Amino acid sequence: MKVTEQDVLYVADLASLELTPAEQSAMVHDLNAILGYTDMLNELDTTGVEPMASVSTIFAADEKGESPALRADQPAPGLSHDDALRNAPDTDGNFFRVPKVIER
């Protein structure tokens, strides 16, 4: 077992997830099963192999190595204030309203 109950609690905290005790023990089991399977990657010697974060990096850059995805930084209309607030669970009419943020 690589992943312990302690690890699950720690990671759940990082991910802002609250797990019930039943969910915690199921998660210990599932994460161990899946991570155990991924261990096969260690059969491969990847010394000197560049990590690949995205496919774009292999064909998006031009001859100068710059991505054509970059455009001029010009202001343009975005989502309206009303549209942005429309799905909010709670607002004061201008801002999103949330519980106090002093204590986490």
Partner 1 sequence: MKLSLETLTIAAARQAIQQKAITARALAEGYYTRIAAADETIGAFLSLSRERAFAQADRIDQLAQRGDPLPPLAGVPMGIKDVLMTRGLVTTAGSKILENFIAPYDATAVARLEQAGAVMLGKLNCDEFAMGSSNENSAYRPVRNPRDTTRVPGGSSGGSAAAVAAGFAVATLGTDTGGSIRQPAAFCGVVGLCPTYGRVSRYGLIAFASSLDHVGPLTRTVRDSAILLGVIAGRDPLDSTSSDVPVPDYTAALAQDVKGLRIGVAEEYFGEGLDPEIAAAIEQVIERLRARGCEIVRISLPHTKYAIPTYYIVATAEASANLARFDGARYGHRACNAATLGEMYRRSRDEGFGPEVKRRIMLGTYALSAGYYDAYYLKAQRVRTLLTRDFQQTFTRVDAVIAPTTPTPAFKLGEKSNDPLAMYLSDIFTVTANLTGIPGISVPAAAGGNTRAGPPIGVQVLGRHFDEVTVLRVAQAIEQDRG
Contact by Cβ (8 Å): 5, 29: no
Contact by Cβ (8 Å): 18, 12: yes
66 binds partner 1 (CB under 8 A): no
Contact by Cβ (8 Å): 5, 24: yes
Please, what is the minimum distance in Å from the beta carbon of residue 83 to partner 1? 4
**C-alpha distance across the termini of the chain, in Å:** 32
Chain positions 27 to 56 lying near partner 1, rule: CB under 8 A, are: 27, 30-31, 33-35, 37-42, 44, 46, 49-56
Q: Which residue has the tokens 């519980």?
A: 99
Instruction: Give how many residues touch partner 1 by CB under 8 A.
Output: 59
- Residues binding partner 1 (CB under 8 A): 3, 7-8, 10-12, 14-19, 23, 26-27, 30-31, 33-35, 37-42, 44, 46, 49-56, 58-60, 67-71, 79, 83-84, 86-90, 96, 98-101, 103-104
